[in-house]
Structure 1
Amino acid sequence: MVSKLLDSGPSLGFPGLNLSLSQFSVPEGTTVNVTCAAGARVQVMLDGVPATAPGQPVQLQLNATENDDRHSFFCSAILEVDGEFLHKNTSVQLHVLYGPKIDTAKRPQSLMWKERPIYVLQCQARGNPDPQCLQEGSSQQVPVGTPFLVKLNHRGTYYLQATTLRIHTT
């Protein structure tokens, strides 16, 4: 038994491998359909789940959540030709846009810093796109999670700016 690995490009005797998402970038809560398909005699597998028979596609449907952001779906195909097994693989990544989430238990209401010590600012939130921590009156981002030397120009109020993008589909 001989086995050859092919990339996802065209080759003689091996029908095209197709991995598709109904949408590549979606707001959370959107239903996404994932399909892995190839030619008539090809056995395909999507994220480790095989098709019911050669020539049949594998389909997956999911309700996108923030945990699905940057998830890579993997599609593989095997075709036997004259005793040789030909393999093809491809993958695609899903991007999920989700709203900002702030952990209020970790958000200090007021802090007093002395000048000169090293401090790590804990201005954090989750979201896609990433939220930003800004000093009031400035449009520059503040270093978050990185130690910095506190100076007089750091005095002031800091705020968290988070944006939710909307995707328009037709």
Structure 2
Amino acid sequence: MIKPIINISEVELLPRPAAFAATGEAAQRFDARMGFVASLIGAQKLGYNITAVPPGKRAFPFHNHRVNEEMFFILEGSGEVRIGEAVYPVKAGDIVACPPGGKETAHQFINTGAAEMKYLAVSTRLSPEIAEYPDSGKFGILAEFPSDAGNAPQTFRFVGRESKSIDYWEGE
């Protein structure tokens, strides 16, 4: 059995996985190191990670979730969180709720402080998930399926724009 306890000092913060690494012009605004905790302590229905954001950067684009709920606990540093059309200051000790919903629940943390900002992110892990990105007009679909015969995780990920949708019957 996996030990269900880990100390925050034991969580190794690594560059984000390649699938989520900012490239091109986005690399100037986005950066983060992450430590994935859930699998280390045997979590099944919640995801946990610690995210560290350098000064002047954002970890992720402004986005909302249609299915999953997130909660953030600021561990160190300070910054701002955009939620819908509002901007709120955040600092160590603050708890932020981000329920599922439309553009009014879209959120993004921005490190406006002089030091690294770290937060604990906790989320439900319902699948499939639909995320929307109001600043860029994109959407994303992520689905996780049971592992294959070789025990490899199975996922489906698609990012697109509704304006590029094709007809249901095209190509049939």
Which structure: larger Rg? 1
Return the TM-score normalized by structure 2: 0.27
More helix by share: 2
